[in-house]
Structures are given as structure tokens and as C-alpha cells.
Amino acid sequence: MKKVALVGPPNAGKTSLFNWLTGSNFKTVNYPGATVNFFRGDALEQYGFACEFIDTPGVYSLFPKSQDEEITQKILIGENSEVSPDQVIVVIDATQFERHLNIFHQVSALNIPTIVAVTMLDILKESGQSIDLNILSKELGVPVVGIDGLLGGGVQELMDSVAGRESEKSSQIEPEALQKWTQEIFTEFGLENNRLHKLSFIDCKSKRNWHHLKVTDKLDKFLLHPIFGLVFFVVVMSLLFTSIYSFSVPLMDFVDAGFSSLSQYILVAGEQSLWAQFLADGVVTGFGAFFIFVPQVAILFFGLILLEDTGYLARATTLVDRPLSLLGMNGRSFVPLLSGYACAVPAAMAARTITNKKERLLTLFVLPLMNCSARLPVYALLLTFFFTGKPMWYGGVALAAIYFLSIIVGALAALILRRFIKDSGQSLFMMELPLYRRPRIMPVLSQVLAKTKFFVRKAGPIIFALSLVIWVTSVFPNYEMTDDVQRLQSSYIAQAGHLMEPVFEPMGVDWRVGVGIISAFAAREVFVSALALVFNVTEENAIGGDGSEESVAATLLEKMKTAKLANGGLIFTPATIIGLIIFFMIALQCLATVGVIYQETNSVRFTVFQLVSFNVVAYLLAVGVQIFA
């Protein structure tokens, strides 16, 4: 089968084009001997031509300065016959044409049949410009196709070119002339900016429309300002994390009501049988205690994608390059660190683009300190308890403070560790700044849905398994007891919890909270559902008696208010809540993160040191809060 490689810079629309070409018929693979992954997929049957597409890692040059660029180079030169391409599609962003043309020049030197796919033409048109693709094709000597990445326009024409259904356009210039002509273009751009409109295939309709392109420069003077830019950055991040807590409340209430109704229906239909209790109190209550916080996760993804879609995320990366350099990292660390607020697993993989080994190790080390979305259910529960009866914005401000505190903790960790990692060559940071553009709401929502579904699929099986274990161990061996309290106190989980209690007593909690903390080492978000099960929160015993007035979450909060230690003192005091927040903020509890950190570093020593140090520091700080409270 014919193999076609897609090559282009990051954010040029390459992956969107790959999705149009293959649909969902693709898989992620690692290049042999490397941790860098790429995509392989078969063309959809609707295009009428069978071939395999290879979506290579995004590159700025085929002279590699990072592992991503090295892998793309190896694929193109045919180092591995399994992925050696018969044809190359060079994806070029029309708004960054003068820089992206360099990729085409380098690929053409490899003597592989090439097609150019030009994206972002709609954005270029909004600025009053257009590219004559026919003239461009004659100049370059290869087929050129315009692509609409949002609607799929031009994809069939591109497939026709791949299949050779159109007669190849003969080159009007020899390779030597092409190289000379390309170098002249770059020489011209190097001496004077904004000369792209002088090329024959670029049409600028008016000076006024050309002046419209200056809007980006005007905005950047403010948004990239060393002072005003940082202030704006802090405001944007504060709004993002405050909205996570505040705007999700109606959606959380809706989800909560749905799970409450389902649980009550199962108990009634099953006549309180053991299986009905398992489904209602174990499965539904366990999942419900997690799903109630999915709206907050979705809002977080929405904010991150929106920042990227508008072009501001690249500016934020450039803006924080200098502060990060003081910590031993650079601007390339920003995207992995920011992605860590969603999930540390893909964030660790994103750190592969950091060329300097020391900077990459520092980034990987502090990544788990970024408050991933799995912590949101924990923070939401604890903050709701802490600010019960207070205005909603109290919790939002507190959540934003937690996120900014995690940045400070990460900075301190980087400052300490950088002294123990040897320098590994010169640091290199290069970031292309796209034009500002209006986000397209439907594609943004589509990405939010996809990322949220991935998060749920990732956490769902773990939550189901642990909910099953916790319910079984909290009901058996004396499942026939009618008194729920006595049954729980004599259960297997109570027996195991009492053995662990001396470890958690210095934190101000008992064995029940300890069970939740241990469960969270499989996935942090399990802490909430574990508490709901251990504290025997079911629809049957909800406030009001029939579960119709109060939800599982509200009942759990009531249980927490009255929960007491063996000595009669309250478990959940202000000091305990603060200690738990600090513990979850620092502790490395996600086993998936531990696994991917080892995969990315290939170092048992680094991984074990990170795991042990984070958890020990988190425990000592939580204990310290109790001592000095």
C-alpha cells in the first residue's frame, strides 16, 4: 500500500487534515527505539483510493534540534522501511507562508514526490489577502491544494493528487533555480519584514486591508509587554480557574439529581436486595460522586482550548520564557506545565519537544505539582465543606489561590533540583506566533467533548474497580446485619483501616479518611467516591429519608460535619481541611503518571526519588498544619 507522510510545523493544521483523511481509522505508535509517537492510518474508502497516511511530529526544520524533528527526519530519509513514505504532503499555514516555505524546500531536496497543502486560507482572506494556488503550483513545480480544516474542503482534491488522477504539473524552474529563488525570498524577508505581498502568487487587495494585519502587532505590544503582559496573563489564569468552580454549579446539580434518581429507582425496583444495594450504593453512588465533577473538568478543557484557538497560548508561552529560564527551564516547558492542569500523562509526553535534557527533566519533575483535573473533585468537596453558607465566589477565589500556590511550589522544587542536575548543552527556544483569530465555537466544543470523554474513559474503569472493592469490603462479612453502622464497623475495610490508622492520626483523620487517601493512589478523583462509600452515604440514608430532598453529595457533607474521631473530636476541622488540600496538592498519587514519567526518563532512580520525595513532603506538611494549628 502506498505510504504518504504529512509533514509540517506545529499548529499548521496537519493533524486536522490527517483526521479528515483517515477518520477514526488510525492508531498511535512509537518510533522504534524512541519515545516519540506519531499516527498511522488508512485513507477513508469514500475517497476512492487506498493508501496509508503517516502524521509525523510537527517540525520547524529537517535539521533536528529536538527528538521530534529527529524522528520526522528519519521517517523521510527512509531509515525504517516500515514507515518510509512514497510521497509527502507538506502542510503550510497560509498566514505563516514565508517561514513554512522552508520546510518545503528541505523536503524537495530529498527527491520524494511532494504535494503542498495550504491551510488557514480563511484567516488570510479575513485580512484582505489571498494566494493564487495555480501560480504557486507553477512556481514550486508541484501540485498545490487549499484545505479547509474545519469543513474538509479540498480534501477530495488532495486525494485525487495523491492518487495521480490529475496530470502532474511540470516544474517551470530547475532544482538549482528553485533553491536560489527560495534563498532570495528568505534574504528579502531577512532584510525587510512584511514583503510577502510582492510575490506573484500573493494578492493584497488594498493597503487598508494589508494594514489590518498590523492588528496582531498592536495587540502583541500590550500582551507581550514585560509588565502589562504578565498582569494580563495573571488575570486570564485567575478567571479561568475561578470559572471552573463558579460556572459549573448548575451542571453539577443536574448530574447529581440524575444519579440520585437512578440510585433510588434501583433500590425500589430491587426491593432492597443485596444486588440492588450493590448497584445503587456501590456502582451508581461511586460513579455519581465522581461524575458530579465532570462539568468542572470540561470547563477547564474549554478554557485551555479557547486560549490555544485564539492564538494567545503561544504568546503566553513566549511571555513566561524569561521567568521559566530563571528556574532552569524555558518557554517550551510552559505548554507541558499548562497541560498538566488537565492531565499529567499527556503533559509528560508533550515535554519531549524540549531539546535540552536538563530542562526536560526539570519539567518532568515539577509536572505532578500542577493541579491536574483529577484533583478538582477533591478540592471541590473540601472547599464546599470549608465555605458552607458563604458566597460562591469564596470557593472560586480559594481554588484560584490553590492553583497559583502550586506554581510557587513547583518553582521552589525546580530551584532545588536544578542544582543537582548537570547542564546538558545549550538551551534553545523558538516559538512561532500565529495571527490572532476568532475561535470557532463548534470545533472548540468538539475538542472539549473528545478530551472530556478521554478523561472519563481513563478514570472510569479505575473508579468502577475500586468502588466494587470498597463496597464489598465495607459490606462483608456481616452483610446480613440490618444496622448499617454495626455492619460497617465489623467489615473487612474497617479492620484494614484500623491497622493503617496510626499513620493517618497525625494528619488529624481516622481510618475512614485514610482508606480514601490510600484509594486515591490509583486515581486522585476516587477519594470522593471512596469517602461516600466508607461513610455509608446512600440514597437510602439521605437526608429526608427518601433521597428526594438531598443529594448524595449534600449527604456526604452532612456526614463530614458530624464525623468524629475515637476521642470525640471532629475529624473535619479547618486545620484538617487545609492539611488535606496541601497533601493532595503535593502528593504524587497517580500511578499512571509514575509509569509515564519512568517511560519518558528511562530512569528508575529519578522516578522513585520523585515518588518518595513528593509523598513524604506532602505528609509532613499535612502533619505540620495539625501541629501548628
The residues, ordered by sequence, that sit 6+ positions from 27 with a Cβ below 8 Å of its Cβ are 39, 40, 41
Please report, as a single letter, which amino acid is at residue 572: F
* Per-residue pLDDT at 257: 81
Are the C-beta atoms of 512 and 534 separated by less than 8 Å? yes
Nearest CA-CA partner of 296 in 367, 389, 378: 378
Q: What is the mean pLDDT of the chain?
A: 78
* Per-residue pLDDT at 544: 46
What is the 8-class DSSP label of residue 331?
G
- C-alpha distances in Å from residue 448, one per residue of 242, 289, 304, 444, 496: 18, 21, 9, 6, 40
* Per-residue pLDDT at 65: 74
List of E strands, 103-186: 114-119, 129-131, 144-146
- pLDDT by residue (tens digit) across 385-399? 888 878 878 888 888
d(Cα 279, Cα 93) in Å, to the nearest integer?
Answer: 52
List of E strands, 388-436: none
Dihedral, CA of residue 576, residue 578, residue 579 and residue 581, to nearest 10? 120
* Per-residue pLDDT at 236: 85
d(Cα 540, Cα 517) in Å, to the nearest integer?
Answer: 25
Grid coordinates given for 208: 487598508
Grid coordinates given for 214: 498590523
Please report, as a single letter, which amino acid is at residue 106: Q
First to last CA, the chain: 69
Right CATH for 2-206 from 3.40.50.2000, 3.40.1160.10, 3.30.450.260, 3.40.50.300 = 3.40.50.300
If 0-12 CB within 10 Å is exposed, 13-18 middle and 19+ buried, where does residue 505 land?
middle
* Per-residue pLDDT at 30: 59
Nearest CA-CA partner of 290 in 544, 575, 519, 18: 519
Interior CA angle at 472 toward 466 and 478, to 5°? 155
Are the C-beta atoms of 364 and 350 separated by less than 8 Å? no
d(Cα 332, Cα 430) in Å, to the nearest integer?
Answer: 8
What is the reported pTM?
Answer: 0.61
| Residue 7 β-bridge partners | 90
* Per-residue pLDDT at 545: 46
Are the C-beta atoms of 382 and 464 separated by less than 8 Å? no
List of E strands, 126-190: 129-131, 144-146
Grid coordinates given for 352: 519531549
* Per-residue pLDDT at 212: 46
Sign for the CA dihedral angle at 429, 40, 150, 93 comes to: positive
* Per-residue pLDDT at 116: 94
* Per-residue pLDDT at 170: 35
Grid coordinates given for 6: 504529512
Neighbours of 231 (CB within 10 A): 10
- C-alpha distances in Å from residue 387, one per residue of 210, 296, 324, 393, 626: 53, 18, 34, 10, 20
| Residue 129 β-bridge partners | 204
If 0-12 CB within 10 Å is exposed, 13-18 middle and 19+ buried, where does residue 271 land?
exposed
Given a cut of 50, the residues of the chain with pLDDT beneath it are 167-200, 202, 204-212, 539-550
If 0-12 CB within 10 Å is exposed, 13-18 middle and 19+ buried, where does residue 28 land?
exposed
Would you list the DSSP string of 194-241?
Answer: S-GGGSTTEEE--HHHHHHTHHHHHHHHHHT-TTHHHHHHHHHHHHHH
* Per-residue pLDDT at 576: 93
The residues, ordered by sequence, that sit 6+ positions from 532 with a Cβ below 8 Å of its Cβ are 285, 286, 289, 552, 556
